[in-house]
Amino acid sequence: MGLRKKTFLYSIVLAAIMTAFVIGYFILMLPSLYVDYVVDSNLHSVIEVQQNYMENGTYEGLKARNPSAVFSIVIPNEGDEIYLEGKFFKLTVRVRDAELQEILDGVRTAMRRGGAADAINPEEIDFQGLEALWNGRLKHKFIGQDLISADYPIGAELEQHPDSEKVYQGEYYKLHPVSDHIVVYEGGISDEDYSYTSYMAMGWDEEAFIMTIMPTMTPQMDEITPVVRGSLPMIIAVIFLVVLISSRFFSGRIVNPVIRLAGSAESAMTAGNFETDVFAVESSDEIGVLGRNLRELYQKLRDNYEELEQKNRILEEENERQEVFLRASSHQLKTPVAAALLLVEGMINEVGKYRDTKAYLPEVKRQLLSMRKIVEDILYLSRCADGMQAEDVDLHVLVQGLVKGYLIQAESRGLCVVTEGDGTVTADREALRIIVDNLLSNAVQYTPGHRKILVRTDDAGIHITNYGVTIEKKLLPNIMEPFVSSDVSKKGKGLGLYVASYYCKRMGYRLEVKNIENGVHAEILF
């Protein structure tokens, strides 16, 4: 999934979380918070009404919630009057019955003795005793009596406050026909805090006319505003926390792989030879593509670096080889050049034995041939390896052709050269010929007379064994180096094995030379 889709999905998930939180808040928390707020507001409202009424003794100018239902009862410390006062009225109740007056005085005494600090606990009230008092002494004085009779236990006087009409405003009326027999009348009015709506449903049938009345109270929008405002810090904190955690998680999923890729790149840069493992990103988004591309890039750079290192090693070997020949060839050529000059100068001046030119001219020729051999070996070794051309070479034919060139020399010394086997290899024909020729030359040159030389070929390599001679142990580790010879008496040039080893390396072969029982074994392993 790409980063664009991931970001879009993250936005959807975050929006879903926020939506779930808001819905949960309005369904689970807001109602309870509103109820708690209303209960707390009612408590504070009744306390405020009580305090203001006790201070001013009137409802004039006093603000009360639900003013039509709020009233205060005043029981003076003496007398037979009790006052009920609200926003719209003041009711004066006079006690006419002596027994009721006695009960009223008892209540006054109990209140003066207790007070607010020792308020009566409802659980401690003897309701059964009150019920017995009502049924035994008071009930008959109220039930069945004429309310306006002078003998009624209490008397009442109602007064209406002159500013009661200013409390309510915004009256309205509506009529809702329901069916042919039912109609609903709706009337509403409001004060500063609430709207009051009364419904009166009227219907008639064949037997009677029926009315149903239901008053309701509708809170104002301003009542819920403090609840929402009080919840704003919590809502903001929760939203901020959710967004912070979600963003931290999402940014971590995006940024952490980039940081690790940067660390891998820095590690590779510090290593210098790209010998480091690039952090693998398994995701399929753009960062994953970047990680895989970087991994491929580092692999290609590493391969190129190793290839350059290999070429540098080859160049170093070439430089070393050229330096060796420049230093050693001049020294090696001094001996035959000096000997040839000495012979020629002696023959020219006819000094002593050198007057016999027929006897010493062959020696001059031998010294010149020796110099030519050195020059040829150097030219062979300088042959450019990049010009090699691989082809299928028949090993038996190659060996037979080279052995023929040494038959006269071998027969003159009584050597027996035996060839066996066959095989085919893909190689540069001329380079392989030079390798085998140098090995055969050494075998013929260093094998004592009347001994055997065995040349065996197969698809795995060429094996040459000459008997009756061994290489000194101290020379064996350095036998492949230039100008190292195992026969000092014959003043060998020591380039044969070096030339053979050089071309074997060029073609990826391995040349091994070792002593065996009463002989030397050399083999070219393909």
pLDDT exceeds 80 at position 407 = yes
> pTM of the entire structure?
0.43
Instruction: Tell me the fold of 167-219.
Output: Nuclear Transport Factor 2; Chain: A, (3.10.450)
Residue with tokens 């993250």, as numbered in its chain:
10
Strand, helix or coil for residue 10:
helix
Residue 253 host element (H or E): helix 221-271
pLDDT, tens digit (0-9, with 9 covering 90-100), for 495-514: 678 878 888 988 889 999 99
Would you say 164 and 70 are in contact if contact means Cβ atoms under 8 Å apart? no
For the chain, residues classed under CATH 3.10.450.630 are: 167-219
Backbone angles phi, psi at 495, to 5 degrees: -105, -15
User: Percent of the chain, pLDDT > 70?
Assistant: 80
Q: Place 521 in a pLDDT band, splitting at 50, 70 and 90.
A: very high
For the chain, residues classed under CATH 3.30.565.10 are: 389-525
Between CA 150 and CA 153 the distance in angstroms is: 8
Between CA 372 and CA 379 the distance in angstroms is: 10
pLDDT exceeds 50 at position 416 = yes
Between CA 42 and CA 466 the distance in angstroms is: 123
Q: What is the pLDDT of residue 364?
A: 78
Q: Place 272 in a pLDDT band, splitting at 50, 70 and 90.
A: low
The domain 389-525: what is its CATH number?
A: 3.30.565.10
Q: Place 492 in a pLDDT band, splitting at 50, 70 and 90.
A: very low
